[in-house]
């Protein structure tokens, strides 16, 4: 049976025990004690060959006899904070605050392991604190978020800090929690100090709000989409009626030719029938117009199929990110919104060919471009001009980023209001014409859900409005 331990706030272990025995003691201590006591390793000068030792995943800090200041700083943590003999009252208060916090508080080493965590981590993720410390923290991160998490952790080791880094952590029940990190570092101690907030519920609410907004948009576009489908369906119907007549004439021609083939002769009565049929076909311009009618019908059917495909992709719920073509997202948004702008503006697409597919939520980004196109159309309508305005969408690759700009020749946004355009419920439209949610939701989709930027920039020609989207 191994040794028994009380539950101090920290325990100091002397490296003179030797590497193997020290590792064994630390493992046993963690197995027997589920509290968050700190393990401090006292370096007695014999650790030069311990560089890759397993001990460093168990201990919270390493203190040296050659660094009395560091030792003094850490030794205060050895005794139970409930006593007044070795722990100051302020330190005891900080410990109580640490444990009482509903925010997830932790320290982690540059070696990639958690060192100290409060009980909020267990409440949020379901693991014991020992389980969280037992393996590199990157193993808890969603596979899709690991690359950016490693990059952020590396950036912080230079002494920088972060206030709004977001990733997903695996909970013990198999679900993922969205965590928002505020982190500072001590380069000398090679430690991250983190305040973390569980924003899963907020993300779910934002997703529901975005989905509601998207479905509202689809509902508002339904009449316009019906009109867009109705137009090609009308000339398909007209062409089919024309082709029906033509088919009757060609059927009669077939009957007359069959009669000639059977009899081998053409009498005056048969000749008169042929002449009458040819005159009727010429009057109806069947020979020239049948190919045109067929071509128009094929084009109309293709147009309807395109609208339906765009609408289906636009309205499809985004459960997971997938690789998708940005240009295709823009074209879909242009198709389903056509009825909102076609009467007032010309839509020009200047899209870079063969853009690399990127990892995204296509439906959500479709909502962004739909909002921006609709706003551009509204801005052009406000001018009340007889001539059509212009909406121009452009895509480019700039280094590691995909860049899209959408510009309009509308009324523009006054300088005094430019800082507020992404505020929730802020709108310049009249009551009943806008909710003030579109740009705010779009900004959240681009920045929070895709790690990009949505900016209001100065238009190149000084007129109208230009928005710029940058996506990694």
Residue 73 vs residue 211, higher pLDDT: 211
- Average pLDDT score over residue span 26-34: 64
Rounded CA separation 2/32 (Å): 10
Asked if pLDDT for residue 35 goes beyond 60, the answer is no
pLDDT in tens, 444-456: 888 888 889 999 8
Range name among 147-151, 276-280, 464-468 with the lowest pLDDT average: 276-280
Rounded CA separation 60/116 (Å): 7
pLDDT in tens, 322-351: 888 999 999 888 888 887 888 889 999 999
Considering the four listed CATH numbers 3.30.565.10, 1.10.10.10, 3.40.50.11720, 1.10.1040.10, the one that applies to the domain covering 318-472 is 3.30.565.10
* Residue the block writes with tokens 């121009």: 392
pLDDT grade, residue 374 (50/70/90)?
A: confident
Which contiguous run of DSSP H or E holds residue 170?
A: strand 162-170
Alpha helices in 384-426 (DSSP H): none
Buried b (16+ CB within 10 A) or exposed e, 359-370: ebbbbbbbbbbb
Looking at residue 285, what is its pLDDT?
Answer: 61
- Average pLDDT score over residue span 163-182: 90
DSSP string, 315-339: HS--SS-EEE-HHHHHHHHHHHTHH
Rounded CA separation 223/303 (Å): 17
Domain ranges of the chain: 1-82, 101-198, 203-317, 318-472
Secondary structure, 3-state, 68-110: HHHHHHHHCCCCCCCCCCCCCHHHHHHHHHHHHCCCEEEEEEC
Asked if pLDDT for residue 435 goes beyond 60, the answer is no
What is the topology classification, in CATH, of domain 101-198? Beta-Lactamase (3.30.450)
Beta strand 389-398 with 401-408: parallel, antiparallel or unpaired?
antiparallel
Structural tokens at position 148: 């950016």
Looking at residue 472, what is its pLDDT?
Answer: 86
Which among 269-273, 334-338, 356-360 has the top mean pLDDT? Answer: 356-360
Looking at residue 62, what is its pLDDT?
Answer: 60
**pTM of the predicted model, to two decimals?**
0.47
- Average pLDDT score over residue span 420-424: 69
- Average pLDDT score over residue span 60-81: 42
């Amino acid at each position: 049976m191994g040794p028994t331990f009380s539950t101090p706030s920290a325990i100091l272990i002397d490296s003179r025990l030797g590497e193997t025995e020290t590792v064994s003691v630390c493992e046993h201590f963690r197995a027997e004690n589920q509290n968050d006591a700190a393990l401090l390793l006292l370096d007695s000068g014999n650790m030069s060959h311990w560089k890759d030792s397993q001990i460093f995943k168990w201990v919270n800090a390493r203190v040296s006899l050659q660094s009395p200041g560091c030792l003094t700083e850490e030794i205060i943590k050895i005794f139970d904070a409930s006593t007044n003999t070795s722990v100051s009252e302020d330190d005891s208060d900080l410990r109580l605050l640490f444990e009482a916090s509903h925010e997830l508080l932790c320290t982690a080493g540059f070696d990639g392991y958690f060192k100290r965590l409060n009980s909020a981590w267990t409440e949020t993720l379901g693991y014991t604190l020992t389980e969280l410390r037992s393996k590199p923290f990157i193993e808890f991160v969603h596979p899709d978020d690991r690359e950016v998490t490693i990059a952020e952790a590396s950036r912080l080791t230079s002494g920088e800090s972060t206030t709004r880094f977001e990733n997903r952590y695996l909970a013990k029940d198999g679900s993922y929690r969205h965590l928002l990190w505020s982190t500072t570092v001590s380069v000398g101690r090679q430690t991250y100090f983190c305040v973390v907030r569980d924003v899963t519920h907020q993300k779910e609410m934002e997703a529901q709000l975005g989905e509601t907004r998207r479905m509202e948009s689809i509902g508002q576009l339904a009449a316009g989409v019906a009109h867009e489908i109705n137009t090609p369906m009308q000339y398909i119907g007209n062409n089919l009626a024309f082709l029906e007549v033509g088919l009757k004439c060609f059927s009669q021609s077939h009957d007359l030719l069959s009669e000639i083939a059977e009899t081998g002769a053409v009498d005056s009565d048969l000749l008169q029938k042929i002449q009458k049929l040819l005159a009727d076909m010429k009057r109806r311009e069947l020979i020239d117009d049948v190919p045109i009618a067929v071509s128009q019908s094929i084009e109309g059917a293709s147009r309807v199929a395109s609208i339906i495909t765009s609408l289906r992709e636009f309205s499809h719920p985004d459960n997971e990110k997938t690789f998708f073509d940005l240009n295709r997202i823009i074209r879909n948004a242009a198709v389903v919104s056509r009825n909102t702008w076609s009467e007032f503006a010309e839509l020009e697409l200047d899209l870079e060919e063969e853009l690399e597919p990127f990892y995204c939520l296509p439906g959500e980004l479709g909502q962004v471009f739909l909002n921006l196109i609709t706003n551009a159309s509204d801005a052009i309508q406000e001018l009340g001009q007889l001539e059509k305005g212009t909406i121009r969408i452009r895509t480019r690759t700039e280094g590691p980023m995909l860049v899209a700009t959408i510009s309009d020749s509308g009324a523009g946004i006054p300088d005094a209001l430019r800082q507020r355009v992404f505020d929730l419920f802020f709108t310049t439209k009249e009551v009943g014409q806008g909710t003030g949610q579109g740009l705010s939701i779009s900004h959240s989709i681009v920045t929070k859900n895709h790690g990009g930027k949505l900016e209001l920039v100065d238009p190149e020609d000084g007129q109208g409005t230009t928005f710029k989207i940058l996506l990694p």
